[in-house]
Chain A
Amino acid sequence: MRRLAALSVSLLLVVGAAACGSSSGTAESSTATTAVAQKGYRPEPKRKVGAMSLPDYAAGQQGTPFTFKAQPDGLLLVYFGYLSCPDICPLTMGDTAAGLEALGDEASRVQVAFATIDIERDQGPEIVEYMTHFFSPEQIHALRAEDSYSLNGVTYEFGAQWSIEPHQPGEFYGVAHSGTTYAVDDKGNVVWAWPFGTTGDELAASIRTLLAQTYPTT
């Protein structure tokens, strides 16, 4: 555990190396080494997001402000995406759902928030519908900012980027966004960021490590 923590501090280069190592793709190659660096990185300097909130539409809410903090002793996974994203968003949500499944009982300590970065097209209830396709209703938060200004304030603090292609009203437009999934602790600190392409098993292993590191006494 301690060794993993130390490794994780050495940030992106380790991530790069780990990604390379696993690109041969087999389980054998990763078990060959004893300490496998978690995929992703711990943001430094610390990103604090617990003072911010976005309107939540999960569980029948009509935009109740949801503050970016996990439940006590838990982790909140946050993803900034958009609903008409056909490839990477559903892939990431599917992998995340698989990760929670692989976690077993510990999954009850984890919730997943999807915040749309396409507030022009995506409405709150649709985000709920989308998320319940992948997760059970009590696991989710379906977030939609009132305006791009408040959204910017949130994504900035997370370190997420997004961009909407210039367009006329009603015209089709492209969207770019960070494919990162963030883990937030119960104090509102971003404790981990997983890159796009993290598998369910990698996520589950990483969440176990993070839970143990973040809440050593539980």
Chain B
Amino acid sequence: MTLTTRTRTIAATCAAVLALGGLAACGSSSSSSSSGTTKPSGKVTVTDAWARESATATGDGALYFTIENGTSTDDELTAVSVPTSVAAEAQMHETVSTDTTMSGGSTGTTAMKSGASAGSTTHATIGRVHNGADDGDTDTTMAGDAMMSMKEVSSVAVPAGQTVTFAPGGYHVMLMGLVSPLKTGQTFEVTLTFAKAGTVTATATVRAS
């Protein structure tokens, strides 16, 4: 399961790299591939729900699971919730690579430099700004490493007969405002709401990874 999403992330990076090299796309990037051989269950099921053990006393959590759409109808996950005794809010997030600066002098780098030099009146702070120790030439020849960030998503498609995995590096449910740190072995109920299948509940277990 973990492999699935990692594979997808890697494949995405890969595609970006190869695109730069002017080569064709690499292999199948099958994000969340279907298990076409298994018999349709006729239901939307949620399995292997888990949340990562908290590393610190405060902070947010991440919840993952596998959704199998065993029906012949395309569906959509529209919301996920957890008890307020666990977290104040649950949001669906996707980890994405926001970077465009695989080679030097790209627009991404330029945008960053100008963004930072603008000094901004907000609390925006942008990295990859040289502190002026040597000349500016290196600024445009040095590549920065891909940036990752997460964005909130309002829904996730779960096509008929397909399996969609929320796993590290891909989709996660962010548990914001944890009431107490998540401890390995702890369990809590998760409610997933689908556009067609309605609500499906699962029990999430806290574990290290």
Contacts and interface: CB of A to CB of B under 8 A. Distances in A.
Given A178-B148, A196-B148, A23 B95 contact: no
A129 B56 contact: yes
Contact of B147 (A93, A166, A169, A178): A178
Interface stretch (A59-67, A104-112, A155-163): A155-163
Interface in B146-199: 146-151, 168-169, 172, 174-175
Interface residues on A, range: 35 or more
Interface residues of B, number: 63
Interface stretch (A9-17, A30-38, A68-76, A205-213): A9-17
B209 A91 contact: yes
Interface string A162-195: 1111111100011111111000000000000101
B131 A86 contact: no
A23 B27 contact: yes
Interface string B77-107: 0000000000000000101011101100000
19 contacts: A12-B21, A15-B17, A16-B14, A19-B11, A23-B26, A86-B52, A86-B59, A87-B93, A91-B169, A91-B209, A152-B125, A156-B128, A159-B142, A161-B144, A162-B126, A163-B149, A166-B122, A167-B123, A179-B97
Given A84-B60, A88-B148, A163-B112, A152 B128 contact: yes
Contacts of B70: none
Given A133-B56, A196-B169, A20 B11 contact: yes
Contacts of B17: 12-13, 15-16, 19
